[in-house]
Structure 1
């Protein structure tokens, strides 16, 4: 038994006791992940009442394993599984999530993903390079002379939400409101969420859905060259998306299209500034930039946990699961597996080891990965080139939304 002020690990029974809302944990989860890798990379987290996997091969395998899925009610009823009925005060949130790409399994997932995938392939997002660079430079123009900035609100928040809104066809002046809805929405994934969090998320889902429906009506009347028009007008095997499917898909693309990238811009800037590496060296050319970005994605991934339902009896790492069991994978911890990465807690921009799992794998591999990577590979070099004396004004605090790892504020000076 290993005990610390933060956690206890019983390696013999693979049990972990840890408060996921403890700032000492979510502020630096990598230290706990390292201890777990040493003692039991497959463990039962007592407070979460669930099995977790952090070994790279197990996480990579589970993400691709069709015996596990994002939904369960397509193969069993709530009564069979002993699941509680939906909460009435979450009806708007549940409706908005009903056709989310993140929550569906084939064939519905295949149909929805096929309709939107074309917009996110690398050759399409590459066309956005000039727009992303122009926006990044324009934002820096606005604060360069000040000698200091809170980077999240002035830069990191703005770029991803503006670009995903443009792609979908949402007016970019809606950006601040989209951020408010999204922040309320994602608190549903926080450990120990409160009833107040649930009511706020449901209200955000209702307002978000109502707004998207108005844009859908406008696009039906006046089609444009944007992703929303494409989703409305394109059929797949004779079927068009229903309004509920259009709303769910638009919301998940807007949320997923910026939330993680906002966090990753902040995480990456922090890691680079704390690493001691000269930014000019890290971003000396496209190849060095790509390696730097991938290493920041590995060591400070923006999304930590993904759950899966067991759809049929299965055994993973000696643990038996039955249909209806829920398992969790910690992507950020898999990126620190010492069996795959030498000195895994060290930032090494010249690594040539396993690919990181920050965007997932399998059929639910992040559809927006090409866009997120493009944004990171463009805006980070621009930022460090434009502000060569960049440094942390104070140690940043990590946001208390553990599933998503990001900063509350990132105050910089130069």
Structure 2
């Protein structure tokens, strides 16, 4: 029997939910709440967010691919027509950086940008980075192995993804700490119930980030190198080159998306494995078991929980009518826990042979960095448990208050 926690009110008949996303009891363990959504109303109107949400696997999977919905709306209607407020004055720099983001645009602009970037992220290209990732992971573990303890996010998880994506794009590695600072401030804009301070910090980060990227673009125009930024600058698509604004947006989204979620996922995965009570050596016996373990940690501990879409035309989904300009939210992490698709969904079971997880999305906005993120996880997780076979949690980790991202404040380990 599902008992309702104090912080949650579900009216199954009306299909409405009242829930404060900043309540630690929710964001600390969102999976438990998602199980209640599945039990009572997988499609619901979230009162505080003033929006409809979908958690069912089939609905989320279909909506991610449904071309009647998009990430953009102002390419087909004006703010006036849709009754949307004017952009915020104090987030102009953030809005400018997002204007040409792969995550925020639709075809044909999306097709042109994605075509130029895609080649670098296909599996066969990414696979070549394997030795570099292994070398870096070993080097980091060498630094703390003798200590018998570490805070894994700062000593390991933060460093690997940002270093690899910076190398790939052509940003100097020593910029890693600064990129992390900008990124953390930048993604504050995606938090539920963000404050004005969060918005100002994100806008400052966007301006500094864009100014820095602009200076690197100028260097690569004058002196191209064998990196993704030079490729984007000097490659044409149907007679067109990317503008500086497009290059800046694309570089920022690749740097942010290329490490933010993977940092969270390394921490989430290690925690899930250690809390499962299963023997890590059996989880990483060979390539196949490693891959299944990684996919199961992605399913049960997804780093990004929500993906939003605009209705581009009047449409009805699961009995809910949407007008053009309505926004809907898809809870990817909840779709991964749908009991109609996954047996005993709240349990970590690496030997599952069920539906693929939706943690990287689907459709044209499927995460472009998924092959790189998967490669990093498939290399660094087994390596960590192999080098530190007696790994244990030193304390109960706290989850960051950054819903709808899902990651830990810190991960203290001993061995």
TM-score interval for Structure 1 and Structure 2 normalised by the shorter chain: over 0.9
Q: Is residue 64–residue 361 contact of structure 1 (8 Å, CA) maintained in 2?
A: yes
- Superposed CA deviations along residues 344-395 of structure 1, whole A, max 9, x for unmatched, are 0000000000000000000000000000000000000000000000000000
Q: Is residue 2–residue 10 contact of structure 1 (8 Å, CA) maintained in 2?
A: no
The corresponding residue for 2:8 is 7
The corresponding residue for 1:371 is 372
The corresponding residue for 2:174 is 173
CA distance in 1, matches of 2:5, 2:25: 12
- Superposed CA deviations along residues 138-183 of structure 1, whole A, max 9, x for unmatched, are 0000000000000000000000000000000000100000000000
CA distance in 2, matches of 1:89, 1:318: 39
1:185 equivalent in alignment to 2:149:
no
Deviation at 1:3, TM superposition (A): 4.6
CA distance in 2, matches of 1:271, 1:86: 40
Deviation at 1:4, TM superposition (A): 2.8
The corresponding residue for 2:316 is 315
CA distance in 2, matches of 1:37, 1:89: 39
Q: Is residue 99–residue 248 contact of structure 1 (8 Å, CA) maintained in 2?
A: yes
The corresponding residue for 1:129 is 130
List structure 1 runs of 4+ shifted beyond 2 angstroms. 1-4
The corresponding residue for 1:305 is 306
The corresponding residue for 1:355 is 356
The corresponding residue for 1:257 is 258
CA distance in 1, matches of 2:5, 2:123: 46
- Partner-residue secondary structure (3-state), 1:51: strand
Q: Is residue 92–residue 202 contact of structure 1 (8 Å, CA) maintained in 2?
A: yes
- Partner-residue secondary structure (3-state), 1:112: helix
Gap regions ≥5 residues in structure 1: none
- Partner-residue secondary structure (3-state), 1:258: helix
TM-score, normalised by the number of residues in structure 2: 0.99
Deviation at 1:88, TM superposition (A): 1.0
CA distance in 1, matches of 2:53, 2:247: 33
- Superposed CA deviations along residues 265-290 of structure 1, whole A, max 9, x for unmatched, are 00000000000110100001000000
- Partner-residue secondary structure (3-state), 2:17: strand
The corresponding residue for 1:294 is 295
- State how many pairs are aligned: 414
CA distance in 2, matches of 1:174, 1:322: 45
The corresponding residue for 1:338 is 339
Q: CA RMSD in A?
A: 0.8
CA distance in 2, matches of 1:256, 1:4: 33
The corresponding residue for 1:196 is 197
The corresponding residue for 1:232 is 233
CA distance in 2, matches of 1:133, 1:403: 30
Gap regions ≥5 residues in structure 2: none
CA distance in 2, matches of 1:388, 1:256: 31
TM-score, normalised by the number of residues in structure 1: 0.99
- Superposed CA deviations along residues 235-281 of structure 1, whole A, max 9, x for unmatched, are 00000000000000000000000000000000000000000110100
CA distance in 1, matches of 2:74, 2:7: 37
